[in-house]
Amino acid sequence: MATGKPVVMKPVVILGVFVADTAYRADRQPRMGETILGNSFKLGPGGKGSNQAVAAGKLGADITFLTRLGVDAFADMAKQTWNDAGVKSAVIDTPDSYTGAAYIFVEEGTGNNAIIVSPGAAMLISPADIEAHAELIRSAGVFVTQLEQPIDAALKALEIARGAGVTTILNPAPAASLPDRIYTLCDYVTPNETEAEGLTGINVSSIDDARRAADALLAKGVGAVIVTLGEKGALLHTRDRSEHVDAFNAGPVVETTGAGDAFNGGLAAALAKGVEPLEAVRFACAVAGISVTRHGTAPSMPTLQEVEALLVKA
């Protein structure tokens, strides 16, 4: 992203969830009623929104993360994680609930994963909470949210951001049924193949399939669609352009759990620096490409220097 010109970094605000990741690695998943021995266990920071904020923070973005936490040891972990990554936080403490947690199974041989998320206090995020932080959202250059917190809170935040002229990104994960009016509030929607199919009913198994699904999302009122395609990279699709960006090979794939969050955090950081959309997607692909060479989610996020080195090498 280096241009030689002074860079004006617009603030990024991300609404989302923090959860403590409990990650189990084994040769396979157990069947129902079966107990198997795992190969390893690790406790670490996670949650899509938090991971995206950490990714953006490590890339040098001026980032604030908005969420609810319990008052417990996992909340302490969250705050330390954000502090280490340069992420500011707007936390609503919720002592009558708990900080979220996630079960993550990682298949040893492939790095593929299966996840159960219990968001805890973050499921209590309400439109009233969003209204209370409206000025924070309006102050952003880029606003990002996902679907791990209640959809009505995400919708309210997107409405406030759109009304203030903030660039809006919806990462529609995990897949959920969405109200039609949410699409018109989104400058960018960033589904993966599975989420694109869930939103459109179009099976996405090729780049052409991704284009058809993206057209369906454009018809709903989205400004631009970015379909992430795993090892095939990503597709940027708008009403007047459709560009496929290859994935970056930064080394052997260790774990893919944080790749989507790395991509979205990288995209937000690039757009906040005024990078044009295709280059922002390329930058985000590089961020994701490095993340999959490392274990964990938040701990896998690269620095700006690492990403720029990969872009130069490529």
**Could you read off the pLDDT of 85-114 as tens digits, one per residue?**
999 999 999 999 999 998 989 899 988 888
The confidence score (pLDDT) of residue 3 equals 46
- Rounded to an integer, the average pLDDT of 180-206 is 97
Question: According to the annotation, is 60 in a ligand binding site?
Answer: no
3-state DSSP: the chain helix, strand, coil percent, rounded to 5?
A: 40, 25, 35
Could you give the domains of the chain?
Answer: 12-16+47-96+125-313 (3.40.1190.20)
Question: According to the annotation, is 47 in a ligand binding site?
Answer: yes
Instruction: Name the helix (H) or strand (E) containing 73.
Output: helix 73-85
Tokens of 29: 């998943």
Beta-carbon contacts of 5 under 8 Å, excluding residues fewer than 6 positions away, are none
Report the catalytic residues: 261
Instruction: Name the helix (H) or strand (E) containing 116.
Output: strand 113-120
In angstroms, the CA 81 to CA 78 distance is 5
Question: According to the annotation, is 297 in a ligand binding site?
Answer: no
**Listed residue (170, 16, 202) closest to 92, CA to CA:** 16
Question: CB of 42 within 8 A of CB of 23?
Answer: yes
State phi, psi for 127 to the nearest 5 degrees.
-55, -35
The residue ranking higher by pLDDT, 145 or 21, is 145
Question: According to the annotation, is 120 in a ligand binding site?
Answer: no
- What is the rounded average pLDDT for all residues in the chain? 94
Judge whether residue 215 has pLDDT over 70.
Answer: yes
Q: Is 271 helix (H, G, I), strand (E, B) or coil?
A: helix
The residue ranking higher by pLDDT, 61 or 8, is 61
Question: According to the annotation, is 257 in a ligand binding site?
Answer: yes
pLDDT tens-digit series, residues 293-306 = 998 889 899 999 99
